[in-house]
Amino acid sequence: MRSILKVFLVLLFVGPCFGTSIIFPTYSTPILERGHLIALSPDRLRVFSVSTSGHIEWQMKLPEQGRLYHHKSGDIVLSMGAAVSLLEPEQGKLQTLFEAPPGVDRVEYDEDSDTYLGYSRWEEAELWIFEGDTHVLKGKEKSAESVPYSDKEILVVVKAEREKTASGYRFVRAWMEVFDKVSWKRLWTAPFTGRGDPFHQMCRVGTFLVWEDGSDLVAARISDGQLNRAPAIKPKDALGPSGLRADGDTLLYLASELNFNDFNRSKQTIYRVTLPEFQVKESHVVEVIEAAFLEQAGEYMISDALYRTACFRRDGSKVWEHFQMHRTKVLDGRIYVSDFDNGLARLCFLEVATGTERVLVSEEVDEKKPNKRSEGTPEKSLSSNPSQVPGAPHF
C-alpha cells in the first residue's frame, strides 16, 4: 500500500511536460466541437475536420502556417500570422475577427486569462495584449519574452535585456512585471537573480505568486509584490525545483535524481512547503518516472509524462501506456491524440478502459523537417483509416 501511495503522489504533484512536436512532426492537438474533430496538418498549412468515426468531412489549405485555439466561449479560433478568424466546424468557413497592428508577427490566445497575445519577431521582443472578447488593445510591452502565468485577475510578462553575440543574442538580465487584468495597470516588478534567462516556471498559490529562480524558490504577495526567497530544499546534486503546483495553501514541487542508465529508476522527491516561509511540511521519495499531470476519469487516472501518457487504476496498477502524443482530455470515455509512428503522422483515439487504439487519419511526413514544408513539395492528402491497429495498447 505504501508503494501505491507513492505512485499517486508523483502522479498528483508533478507539472506537465510537453515536447512531442519539437522532435516529431505531428498533427496539432485536435479540438472536439459539436461532434467534429478539428486539427492542423503536420506542416500547419492545412486545417481539416474528421468525424469521430474517421470520415474526413472537409479540409482547407492555408496561405501560411496556422494555430488553433478553443476560445473560452466555445468557438474555435484560427490565427495565421497577425490575423485571427473564427472557424466554423461544420463546413470550415472562416469569419475574420481582427488583425493585429503592423509589427505583430503572430497572435496566440490564452484561455486562462481570456486574452490574445501578439508577439513581434523574436529579435524585436515586443508584446501586444488584446481583450479576449472585444479584441481591444490593452497594452504594448517592449523587451517582452514570455507570459509564464495568467488568470482572471493577473497577467505576468517576463522581460529581458539582450546582448548581441556573433551567433545572435544572449540574455544579460531578466525580470518580471505583474499586471492587473481588469485595469491593465502594472502592479509590481521583480528581478530574476538566480538565472538570467526569461524562462521560469511559475504558479499561483492563494494570495502568492511563486516561481523558481535557479535553485531558489521565490514567493511574492500578489497585492504588493513583497518577496520571500529561499534555497529549495532538495537532495545534493538533484535537479530542480520543478513541477511547481498549488495544493490548497501549500506549494508542491519536485527534485529529481536522474538514473541515466534506466530513467524508470530515477529517484524523485516530492516536497510540500508552506508559504511564504518555504517550511517543509512533508516529503516523499518515489522511483517512478510516469508522472507529470493527472486527470481522473471515473475509476481510472490518466497521467502524462515526457513523450507518453499512461492510464492507471486507482490501486496504482497500470492499464496501458501510449508513446509520442498530444492529447485531449477524456471525452466520453475516449482520448483523442495526435502522434507519430514509423514515418506517419496519425490522429487517433484511445479507449480509456482498454487502451485500444483506432487510427482516424494519417499521412506520411518527413521527420527530418518537422512543421516545415519544402518549396515545391506537393500537397499530401489525408487518408482515412478507421481500422483498429493490431498490437495496441503498448506496455
- CA dist., res. 361 & res. 352, Å (int): 19
- CA dist., res. 157 & res. 169, Å (int): 20
Q: Is 3 a residue whose pLDDT tops 50?
A: no
Of 12-26, 195-209, 312-326, 381-395, give the range with the top mean pLDDT: 195-209
Q: Which of 75, 64, 74, 76 is nearest to 105 (CA)?
A: 64
Q: What angle do CA 156, 158, 161 make, to 5 degrees?
A: 160
* CB distance 19 to 299 below 8 Å: no
> Residue 83, CB half-sphere, CA atoms under 13 Å: how many?
12
Give CATH 2.130.10.10 domain extents, the chain: 66-190
Q: Which of 135, 133, 130 is nearest to 73 (CA)?
A: 133
> What pTM does this model have?
0.78
pLDDT for the residue 108: 96
Return the number of other C-beta atoms located less than 10 Å from residue 99's C-beta.
Answer: 15
Q: Tell me what the pLDDT averaged over the chain comes to.
A: 84
pLDDT for the residue 372: 43
Domain 66-190: give its CATH code.
2.130.10.10
33-42, 261-270, 290-299: segment of lowest average pLDDT: 290-299
* CB distance 366 to 349 below 8 Å: no
Return the number of other C-beta atoms located less than 10 Å from residue 188's C-beta.
Answer: 17
162-166, 282-286, 385-389: segment of lowest average pLDDT: 385-389
- CA dist., res. 336 & res. 329, Å (int): 8
Mean pLDDT of 29-42: 94
Give 225's pLDDT tier (boundaries 50, 70, 90): very high
What cell does 302 get?
A: 490518466
Q: Is 88 a residue whose pLDDT tops 50?
A: yes
96-105, 199-208, 244-253: segment of lowest average pLDDT: 244-253
* CB distance 71 to 107 below 8 Å: no
pLDDT, one tens digit per residue, over 130-164 is 999 999 999 899 999 999 999 999 999 999 999 98
Backbone angles phi, psi at 20, to 5 degrees: -60, -50
Q: Identify residue 170 by its one-letter amino acid code.
A: R
- CA dist., res. 211 & res. 187, Å (int): 17
pLDDT, one tens digit per residue, over 328-379 is 999 999 999 999 988 999 999 999 999 999 999 999 987 665 444 333 333 3
pLDDT, one tens digit per residue, over 167-198 is 888 999 999 999 999 898 999 999 999 998 99
Is the Cα dihedral 367, 372, 377, 383 positive or negative? positive
